Amino acid sequence: MRRGQRARWIGWLAWANAVAMGLVLLLGTTVTATGSGFGCGESWPLCHGRLLPPLTLEGVIEYSHRLATLVSGLVLVALLLLVALERRQVFARWETRIVAGLLVGTLLIQSALGALAVLAPRYPPVMAVHFGVSLTVFASALLLALILTRGESLRERRRVAPPGSVSWASWGLLVGTYAVVYLGAYVRHANASLACLDWPLCQGKLVPDLAGPTGIVFLHRSSALLLTLALTGLVVRLWRDGALRRARPDIVRSGTLALLLLLAQSATGAWVVFSRLSLDSILAHAAVVTLLFGALAVLAYQALPVRVGTVRRSAAVAEPVQVSR
């Protein structure tokens, strides 16, 4: 296989891995939404103690999720082996090692949590963490694909460092989104999604009775509103900084895309309520939040300056430059 062909294979495998991780997440959401979690009984990794599942809807859905997880894991192994053989220098960079390690580690944790969900009672906090880890798996796979296919151009842009406030805000929004997603997953797994039967109000009130499931749903909605206001503030700040727009249009684009996805996430959340938990609305809600978390992870990565110690001194390499006042 020629070098150009090997490079294309690495690119294809990297993006196939990212897509596969996203599909695994959506299949997991389908398992939860259809009540198929015990479609394979209480055995894992087998299905009712057998290699193939029974021909029931729940069994096929649960088995498909497990099979997709296995296939995505094999794609990842093939990708990492090919990169190690052909582009070993990629792993000399600290961000690549962190992203690849995070992807492998969270994939293993995701599989362990999936097994725990089958072999032990289903506690909403554990199931919510399972969904959050799945988001981290997808975001890591997306970042790895970008690094492997567009790594040099990304590093060149990151040599022009954004203001520190933009970097801190980007990472804060990523962490805040994880917290909001955890609350949303907890709401779903605690069967509290319809504790508020209207939207954006709850029980016809701006501030409802906060006891029980209603309080959890209200906390989720309130935190989502705060997240929307914070991201809107960041995007406004990015667009108002002319120097930053010219020097780092990639950051402005990522921030704007994340805001649009967050607004779409709110719309799908309303759809979940008004459709009374239709499967289409639940899958749309999960798909949009997956893309949102991926966009915010890319934004946070773009906001990281290149570490001077990792850059070889040469006439062709410039030092990181601050672009704003």
Spatial CB neighbours of 305, under 8 Å, sequence gap ≥ 6: 158, 159, 161, 162, 167, 320
3-state secondary structure of 50: strand
Asked if residue 16 lies in contact with residue 68, where contact means CB atoms within 8 angstroms, the answer is no
From CA 289, how far away is CA 22, in angstroms rounded?
Answer: 11
Asked if residue 280 lies in contact with residue 33, where contact means CB atoms within 8 angstroms, the answer is no
Longest CA pairwise span in the chain (Å):
66
Asked if residue 296 lies in contact with residue 142, where contact means CB atoms within 8 angstroms, the answer is no
Spot the catalytic one: 42, 58, 62, 95: 62
321-322 and 160-161: which strand pairing?
parallel
Asked if residue 174 lies in contact with residue 297, where contact means CB atoms within 8 angstroms, the answer is yes
DSSP 160-224: EEPPHHHHHHHHHHHHHHHHHHHHHHHHHHTT-TTSS-SSSSBTTBSS---STHHHHHHHHHHHH
Q: What interhelical angle do 213-240 and 164-189 show, nearest 10?
A: 160
Token look-up 């994880």 returns 178
What is the total residue count of the chain? 325
Let me know if 156 is a catalytic residue.
no
From CA 250, how far away is CA 243, in angstroms rounded?
Answer: 13
Asked if residue 178 lies in contact with residue 132, where contact means CB atoms within 8 angstroms, the answer is yes
Dihedral sign, CA of 65, 66, 71, 77?
positive
Question: Which residues are annotated as catalytic?
Answer: 62
